[in-house]
Amino acid sequence: MGEKRRVVVIGLDAADRDLILKWGGEGKLPVLQRLLASRASGAIDNPDGLYVGAVWPSFYTGVSPAKHSRYCFVQLRPGSYEVKPFHPREVQATPFWDAFSDQGKRVAVIDVPKTYASETINGVHIVDWGTHDPEDGLRTTPPELAASLSGSYGIDEIQHCNAFRTKADEFAAFRDALLERIDRKVEMAREFLRREPWDCFVSVFSESHCVGHQCWHLHDTAHPKHDPGIREALGDPIEQVYIALDAAVGKLIAEVGEDTTVLLVASHGMGPHYDATFMLDAILRRLEDGPVQPRPPTQRGMFRLWSLLPDTWRKPLKFLTAPIKQKVQPPDWRLRRRRYFQIPNNDVYGGIRINLVGREPHGTVQPGADYEACCAQLTRDLLALVNADTGKPLVKRVIKTDDLYSGRCREWLPDLMVEWDRSTPVARVSSAKTGMVEGTYRKCRTGDHTKAGLFVAAGPGIGHAELGEVSIMDFAPTLAEILNADLPDADGRSFAQALLGPIDAAQTSERVARAPKA
């Protein structure tokens, strides 16, 4: 058995790597810059095509989405056309903190996104005290801890951060609430760090995630919605939040003992919200049915008459006709004849499901050659699309899921994932097959995710080194090796030896042998 080691993980949810490097180099993030200059660091690779919703489940299980099943906040249910919210309890793999607890390790977990309060953790677990898009509200183990936290640190006033803010005072209030939440989270984390010398301590800050989605246009002067007046009045809210997070990291590291390894994980990035996912369903319908034909005069007249009715008339009419429509046209009636259709996959990548015989309730595409031909033709058709306002190709890649993923939960995933050219906004797209397709992005987010993340490791025996790229799935087995624990089903590979040298040669070689790369 090797020497006793402890590990602390500090997560910065969706804190953009390029912004960290830029502002660190400018002296605005002194703690992070000092770590980058003196300790081991590297890039984080996230699950291709699925990373927006799969990042944190892949982090805490060490397996791919094809094994843990989660990639979006709502997902198609296999064997149906039904799309339902995905609860963290549905994740089909074991979090590392449960595995470590079973092996006698003492563990504290605070606000790791997209999880649930473990009932078997050997320590404390705090879920959704202050996270981006909380799933279930505050939950804790032990349960009585929730009331104590609310009394000591208050409740999260932000909750779901999505809102259409247009005025300087609205953005100022949002920024200030994020800064206050960082301060309270730091004090909460420091309290638990002082309670006992945890074998594994994990705390994640999500303010970088929230501010990136809502305030990217205030940071990015080239964004179509950039408002110079608000920017002049407030400065850059994203920069201000990152500066506060930098200070938070410094305070937590100051609490850590000299025998402790610290891993800072900036999970994935942020950039402008340019994509065509909001138009994908219309594009797929055009590819299957051809350009839209003009409606007959009688039908046009009926639609015109309906549009002229006051809302006070239309709403009750919709209510009265809804049961009839539901009876005549069940929820899946539109999909029964289609060969493919859009399914949720957040916004960065479009998700497409092939209507496969034997898998979908009313499949139209046969497995085997028909499925392969359908995927190939659809790929060609999507790659032929152009952004009509720039003349450039709209689609960079069409990813075939089976080329990247396999596992017990493969049927939960899309069949194809569409990677858009996100260099400019998208409002009009065209091809010979679709004709012109127009749409307007109507949601409030001006920032969305980029794939790469960043990590830094500090602690005894860790000097300056550039470690290249690791997978988000590699962190769970790395923590296991540092703690001399087992995590036998992980897809990721430990990089503990690159940080610390051989920890226990016999156990290390055994773990590496049974942890193949996904």
Q: For the segment 220-234, what is each residue's pLDDT rounded down to a tens digit?
A: 999 999 999 999 999
Is the predicted pLDDT of residue 259 greater than 70, yes or no? Answer: yes
Residue type, 193: L
Let me know: does 146 contact 152? Beta carbons within 8 Å. no
Dist. CA 307–CA 295, nearest whole Å: 15
Q: What is the pLDDT of residues 380-405, one digit of tens each?
A: 999 999 999 999 999 999 999 999 99
Is the predicted pLDDT of residue 327 greater than 50, yes or no? Answer: no
Q: Give all domains of the chain, ordered by start, each with its CATH number.
A: 6-271+448-513 (3.40.720.10), 277-438 (no CATH)
Dist. CA 287–CA 250, nearest whole Å: 53
Q: What is the pTM of this model?
A: 0.90
Dist. CA 174–CA 375, nearest whole Å: 44
Let me know: does 216 contact 444? Beta carbons within 8 Å. no
Dist. CA 135–CA 2, nearest whole Å: 39
Strand partners, 341: 353
Q: Output the average pLDDT for the chain.
A: 91
Residue with tokens 């607890």: 101
* Residue (of 157, 203, 200, 201) closest to 177 by Cα position: 157
pLDDT of residue 4: 75
pLDDT of residue 159: 86
Q: Which residues does 371 contact at the CB level (< 8 Å), separation at least 6?
A: 354, 356, 365
Is the predicted pLDDT of residue 491 greater than 90, yes or no? Answer: yes
Let me know: does 454 contact 43? Beta carbons within 8 Å. yes
Is the predicted pLDDT of residue 300 greater than 90, yes or no? Answer: no
Q: Over pLDDT 70: what percentage of the chain?
A: 88
Dist. CA 112–CA 131, nearest whole Å: 8
Is the predicted pLDDT of residue 507 greater than 50, yes or no? Answer: no
What number of residues does the chain have? 518
Strand partners, 444: none
Angle between helices 237-255 and 17-25 (to 10 degrees): 80
Dist. CA 489–CA 63, nearest whole Å: 8
- Higher-confidence residue: 513 or 445? 445
Q: What distance, in Å, lies between the first and last C-alpha atoms of the chain?
A: 29
Tokens of 111: 């606000």
Q: What is the pLDDT of residues 239-255, one digit of tens each?
A: 999 999 999 999 999 99
**What confidence category does residue 272 fall into, taking pLDDT thresholds of 50, 70 and 90?**
very high
Dist. CA 438–CA 276, nearest whole Å: 10
pLDDT of residue 335: 81
Dist. CA 107–CA 101, nearest whole Å: 7
Is the predicted pLDDT of residue 328 greater than 60, yes or no? Answer: no
